Amino acid sequence: MEKYAWKATIVDGCLEEYVRRHNEIWPEMVEVLKEAGIRNYTIWNTGNEMFGYYECEKGIEYAARIQATSPIVKKWDEYMKDILIMEMDPVTGAQPLLKKVFEMD
């Protein structure tokens, strides 16, 4: 199982709204993530920094392709852009893949 991690920044004063939106995540968004093979998805925060982690049972490339072509994901990204600052990779158009430096099983 491949693992994926991302980072982002919350707009000042918007953490509570970010949490609310995720507590009310759209069922169709959850379905897209499941279709993409995403499991064990967790998001953490400290201050205005966000860190997300998930496992890709069908591989990172498959998960990225499903998300990139989903109108639901595009709608979610639009919904979140007023409170979340995401740095995107100019080559892939996706969130930059964080480099793993340590893992303990």
3-state class of 31 per DSSP?
helix
Say if residues 40 and 57 touch (Cβ distance below 8 Å): no
Distances (CA, A) of 26 to 13, 19, 42: 23, 13, 16
Question: Does the active-site annotation cover 22?
Answer: yes
Residues 6+ apart with CB under 8 A from 54: 3, 4, 38, 39, 40, 41, 42, 63
State the amino acid at position 93 in one-letter form. Answer: G
Active-site choice (3, 7, 20, 22): 22
Q: Catalytic site residues?
A: 22
